[in-house]
Structure 1
Amino acid sequence: MKIKSIAILAITLLIISCSTTISTTNKEYKITKASQFKSHCNLNEWFLEKDTLIGHGVPMHWGVMESKKRLPKNYEIVFKVNMTEGSLFEVMLNIDKEKYIRTYLYQIDQNIVIGDGIYFKNDNSYGKRGGKTLFRKPMELENNKWYSVKIKVLNNQLFFTVDDKTLECSLEKSSLNQKGKLGFITNGEVKITDLKIKHHSKLN
């Protein structure tokens, strides 16, 4: 029985390490150990403290984290976020060839936003990170408050929900990336807990 359990664990780890997408055998990825998370992501200005992912940035140098593997074609990302400092927290979706989808919370404008973004890894200059707004919805946002975030991509339709506010758009109609990696950006300090990435395999 013990040998069988070890064999199952070995196969599971092999599937995770060889897969080109962020997924596991049970189609759901969670933060567990710091060492495992580091093997999946380029953390840069981010680190894992117990079960909390923490990012640090400043207005002139955003704190960026990027996954090493691609997101599945259809996926769901859920987590809780607290912007303890700064005005911007952004989830980078489908990062590919310096382009990505912007889904973010922006305190200055008091909006949640979907946008068309660009990201040059080694360039913090104006116009090399961020991008234009496509859709927005007013929402009261403040520091030191926890928000529940749910992002779902199903058949090229994007749903971005923060608490009870939802934005929706078609990736194809908005000419947005339909594949790529995951990332996070902050211009202050952000804390993330209960992060789960679910792979909707039956829709692929």
Structure 2
Amino acid sequence: MKIKIASVLLLQLFLISCSSTISTVKKEYTLHNSKDLKSDWTINSKEWILKKDTLTGNGSLSPWGVLVSKKELPENYEIDLKVNMTGESLFEIMLNLDKGKYIRTYLYQIDQNIVIGDGVYDKKDDSYGKRGGKTLFKKPMELENNKWYSVKIKVQNKQLFFSIDNKTSLECSLEKSSLNQKGKLGFITNGEVKITGLKIKSL
């Protein structure tokens, strides 16, 4: 009986490790240490580092600091994190990155908006038109440097919900807006940004 239970547990661990998604059913993904960062994400160590529980990204107007997961997001998921734009004006969460297209969910300090947009990403080209993209939905929000914001993103039944501090939010239909319904997760900054408490949960 003990052997059978042990076999089942080992099989579950094997399936989780071989899963093509960054989070599996009934499992919450969190970023614990530098080993996780190297194994789960495609990184440039000059742009992104993890110390203790804080992920720090550094970018510029060209190149942006970009971090992309190696595995896909689940079909339905929830992402929670806290972010602090300690330098410059842009922090972007790339959703469902696939074949050079992704959903832009970001905080933009210059325009004082949170935004949902339709993005393109060419990892080999930082030039204008090869990264970023058009705005689809936006809502005014006062955004500052050196201030922590709680970010929640939920994708369920092809509906996207994006909120900051449980106060300012945007929603849209992935189908109606012709946005990607599958793909990887990424982060972009044009300055310095700090992220803590990253959790990715299957729904």
TM-score range, shorter chain: over 0.9
Cα deviation digits, residues 18-56 of structure 1 (max 9, x gap): 000011464210111220232111122211111111100
Asked if residue 141 in structure 1 is aligned to residue 143 in structure 2, the reply is yes
Contact 1:156 1:172 in 2 (8 A): yes
Unaligned runs of 5+ in 1: none
State the partner residue of 2:36: 36
Distance 1:112 1:14, change over 3 A: same
Secondary structure at 1:161's aligned position in 2?
strand
TM-score of the aligned structures, taking structure 1 as reference length:
0.92
- Cα separation, 1, equivalents of 2:27 and 2:69: 17
Q: 2-side partners of 1:193 and 1:65: how far apart?
A: 15
Who is 1:94 aligned against? 96
| Aligned ranges 1:1-204 → 2 under 5 Å | 11=11, 13-24=13-24, 26-44=26-44, 45-163=47-165, 164-200=167-203
Percent same amino acid at aligned positions?
Answer: 71
SS, match of residue 152 in structure 1: strand
Question: Could you say what secondary structure the match of 1:38 adopts?
Answer: helix
Q: How many residues align?
A: 199
Q: Runs in 1 of length 4+ with deviation above 4 angstroms? A: 3-13
CA RMSD of aligned residues (A): 1.9
**How far is 1:130 from its partner?**
0.3
For structure 2, which runs of at least 5 residues remain unmatched after alignment?
A: none
Q: Is the alpha carbon distance of 1:187 and 1:103 closer, same or farther for their aligned partners in structure 2, counting shifts above 3 Å?
A: same
- Residue 13 of structure 1: CA displacement? 4.3
50 and 133 in structure 1: CA distance in 2 versus 1, 3 angstrom threshold: same
- Encode CA deviations 1:72-112: one digit per residue, 9 max, x unaligned: 00000000000000100000000000000000000000000
Describe the shift of the 1:26–1:137 C-alpha distance in structure 2 as closer, same or farther (beyond 3 A).
Answer: same
What letter matches 1:165 in structure 2?
Answer: T
Which residue identity is paired with 2:40? H
Quote the Cα distance in structure 2 between the aligned partners of 1:23 and 1:70.
8
